[in-house]
Every structure is written in structure tokens, then in C-alpha cells.
Structure 1
């Protein structure tokens, strides 16, 4: 990858890490409910992307063009929010991105892509070692919801690669996901609740970590193979922990630091050895 693609990939991974931290902070320190968080996040992301798109002189695509992407985006965002009520930041990020990566690697292999298996094992082993010491076993229901979110996110990323201009397709997905959000809100009316900090976390998640973050990710995604896109996301749980160390006064052992370096090294190994199928 070029230096510019590397730089924007890092920005996208930082945004994804911020999403995990913001969601967990919202559900552990405020009274906002998952449906409200999801609605505010997606609405704020849609507005942010629409402004960006209009500034570029574009407009969203038709419902047909963005329907499946919108559905996958909604499933990811809703399952993500409900799962983070009962799962820690690190464990949630592990289940989420391992599921997404598994789907994308499977798709890449099916399409004939090849990469270093040792690199993949290195990245997965480092990630498991990094999360195991501090991650308690999450509730089965929360882990299952996060796995659904991960598979939906992987499908959303793959669909984005096959569509046209990244900003256009991403904006369309967010806009067409809003009717599904309305249905979710209607089904959760008795459980809705918000507060100032919860709304703030949701707005930051929607405008910055999701809206801007996804726009950058889609730009990067169309310049990567499916295996590369899946492998690079293995760095997100590690980055999330580093951000927690810096911003939330969390601690990190030497063993965790070494495991983080192994994970990032495995990601780089896979990315550098990816080979597209010959045509």
C-alpha cells in the first residue's frame, strides 16, 4: 500500500477504536439505552456524510443501490449497541473484529486471494494473548450479539468495495438505514432513556467515529484486498486498549504490550504478503 493509504487506514482504525470506547463508556457511565444510542449514532452519521457529500456536489444513490448495505449497517449498529451493555471493551472488540475478519478472509480465499498463513496465525495468536489476561468470559448472549455485529460489519465492508464512489455509497447506506432505526425505536418505546453525556457519546460516535471514520474506511477499502481489509482490523482491539490506557487511566502489563506488538506485526506481515488472483 502507498503511504497515503497507510495513513488513512490508521485514521480509520482509530475511529473504529473510538466507537468501541464511546459505546462502552455510554452504557457503563450513563443511562442512555441501546436503541437511543443506535438512533442518535446513525442519524448523526447520516447528517455528517450528507453534508460532506453535498459539499462535493454529489447526491445519495437510489434505495435499490444502497438497500443491502443499509440493512447490514443497521444490523451491525444495533447489535453492537445492545451487546456493549454486558460485554467489556476489549472482549467486545475481540469478538466483533474476529468475526468480521473471519468473514472477509473466507470471502477472499473463495475469490482466489492468497496471503501468509503464518502471518494470520501470528496476528490471531497475538490478539488472543493480548486479550486473555484481562478479559473475563462475557455472557453468551452478549458475545452472540457482538458476533452478529461483526458478520454484518464484514458484509457491509465487502458490499462497499463493490459499489461506486465511497462517500456516495456510505451516505446512502446511512440514510436508508434510518427507517429501520425508526422501527427499532418503536419496538423499544418502554425502554427509551437518555441523558446529556449519553447523547454526547452517541453524537461523537455518529459524527466523528462513524460518519467521518466510515468515509475514510470506504476510501481505503476499495484499495485493499478482502484479506488485507480483514487482517488490518485485527489492530483495532489493540488500539482500543492503548486509547483506554491514555484516556481512561487503564493499565497494561508488559505481557500485553508484547502481545500488542505481535498482533500489529502479524497484521503488517499479512498485508505485505497479499497476492491477488491472476486474471
Structure 2
């Protein structure tokens, strides 16, 4: 029961990142890169406090992971200027899982016919979302930004696999990501407005739902079966969709529902038989 409760808390935290970012950049009008930079900084502080002064070692992957994390954070925030919370989470999740699948194929990890079918179905679900139908289309800039975020998160996750101390590795990457985000700020138009509500959401998204959320996920992950962890992550975009509808008044259209069923159903078919190794969080 305790484990189930912790997993539910983590999944809600990951989904909350979509809602908090959507409100921060689209609702309060914060500059997306400013929101992302504050989120990274708050996450780094929370993780370093959690480590209680423990000295962090250096690994080359930390630097590469920090760059991948920056791509995820930037793309995630930019995308939510135009995408709804649930829609963005679904595109992110689908992109991450498809990227992981592509890596598995590239490494010759014995992908079977059923996995190919599952990923083809998931890809069809993303196509339902992204291909214009009847003149209605997802904002292409937002979709591309979220897909970039998904690729960044996939790389970040792959680089972090097998870390002896996942919390320390995550803290190091968040800390190294801070200067990258600060350097990117001038290129994105400067800091921009700093509404108190937006500032508060960025700090919560960084310290609580990202920093502490990731730390908690890595704590419970060893206690979960591989397939359980993979399937549990399917709940993240569903929670984000529900939260978007309930809290932000976002519409749940038949097209969105069909795409969600295809993406998540296809991924479920693909990941359960494969018995994925642990791949970290779903990314949010």
C-alpha cells in the first residue's frame, strides 16, 4: 500500500509539471526560458539540500546530461505557450517512448513483431494529433518544441541509466544545467515579466514536482517490476489530460481521446512483452 501511494504521488507530480508550466507561461505570461531557468535552479537547490552536503563526483555523462536536460526544459516551456497541458504531455510521452524504441532497435535488443505493431499504433496516434484534419491542426511550433523536449528527455534518461547514485547524478545534472539556461536567456529575448504567481509556479515545478519528484521516483523504482514501472508511466499523460480538463477548462475532443487511446495502447503493447530495463522517469 505504501509503495502504491508513493508511485501515485510521483505520477501526479510528473503530470503536474505540465499544468504548472502551462499556467506559468500561458496564464501568467512568463517568458518560457525564464520559467525553465527558474525551474532548473529550484530543482538543483532542492536536490542539493536533499543530499545534505554530500560532495558530488564528476562523470562525463553529467555534462552531456545537463545539455539534454536543458533541451527538455526549454522545449517543454516553449511548447506550453500554445499547447494544452494534456496535449503537450501526450506528445512528450509519445516522443520519449518512440525514441527509446528507436534506440533499442539500433542496439539490436531483440525487438519482436508485437513491439513493432505497438509502436506503429503509437506513431499512428501521434499522427492523429499532428496531421491537419478538416483544417484543424495542433500549433506546429508548439508540437515541434515538445518533440524536441521529448528527444532531450530520452537522451537524458539514457545517459542516466545505471547511475550508482541516481539522486546525486540528477542533482549534478540540474546544477550544471543552470548556467546553460542562464546563457540561453539573452538569446530568447531576456528575462521578461516576473509575475509573482508565475514565479511561485516555476519554483514549485522545480523544487517539488521536478527535483523531489524525480528523487522519489528513483527511490521507488528499485522496488517495482520493470514492466510495472513502464506501464505505470502510461498514467502520466492521462492525469495531465484530466487535470487540463478539470483545472484549465481544456476540451477533450474525440480526436484527442482517440489519439490518447492509440498512443498509450500502442506503447502498452510494446513495453509489456519487451520487459524493458529501467529507463528512469517518463519525463515531465
Q: Scaled by the length of structure 2, what TM-score is found?
A: 0.77
Q: 2:54 aligns with which of 29, 54, 58?
A: 58
Question: Could you tell me how far apart the structure 1 residues matched to 2:240 and 2:75 are?
Answer: 19
Q: In the alignment, which residue of structure 1 is the partner of 2:27?
A: 29
Is the deviation greater in 149-158 or in 233-242? Answer: 233-242
Instruction: Find out whether 1:69 has 2:65 as its counterpart.
Output: yes
Judging changes above 3 Å, is the alpha-carbon distance between structure 1 residues 268 and 145 closer, same or farther for their aligned structure 2 residues? closer
Runs of at least 5 residues in structure 1 that lack an aligned partner in the other structure: none
1:117-132 equivalence runs, <5 A: 117-120=116-119
Judging changes above 3 Å, is the alpha-carbon distance between structure 1 residues 190 and 165 closer, same or farther for their aligned structure 2 residues? closer
Instruction: Find out whether 1:212 has 2:208 as its counterpart.
Output: no
Contact 2:129 2:138 in 1 (8 A): no
Residue 123 (structure 1) shift:
5.6
Question: Could you tell me how far apart the structure 2 residues matched to 1:234 and 1:33 are?
Answer: 30
Residue 219 (structure 1) shift:
4.5
Contact 1:161 1:218 in 2 (8 A): no
Contact 1:66 1:169 in 2 (8 A): yes
Question: Could you tell me how far apart the structure 1 residues matched to 2:194 and 2:82 are?
Answer: 18
Question: Could you tell me how far apart the structure 2 residues matched to 1:222 and 1:66 are?
Answer: 22
Runs of at least 5 residues in structure 2 that lack an aligned partner in the other structure: 278-284
Aligned length: 272
| Local SS of the residue matching 2:86 | helix
Instruction: Find out whether 1:237 has 2:206 as its counterpart.
Output: no
Question: Could you tell me how far apart the structure 2 residues matched to 1:125 and 1:199 are?
Answer: 38
Q: Scaled by the length of structure 1, what TM-score is found?
A: 0.79
Residue 84 (structure 1) shift:
1.5
Judging changes above 3 Å, is the alpha-carbon distance between structure 1 residues 70 and 267 closer, same or farther for their aligned structure 2 residues? same
Q: In the alignment, which residue of structure 2 is the partner of 1:273?
A: 273
Contact 2:21 2:201 in 1 (8 A): yes
Q: Report the aligned-residue RMSD.
A: 3.7
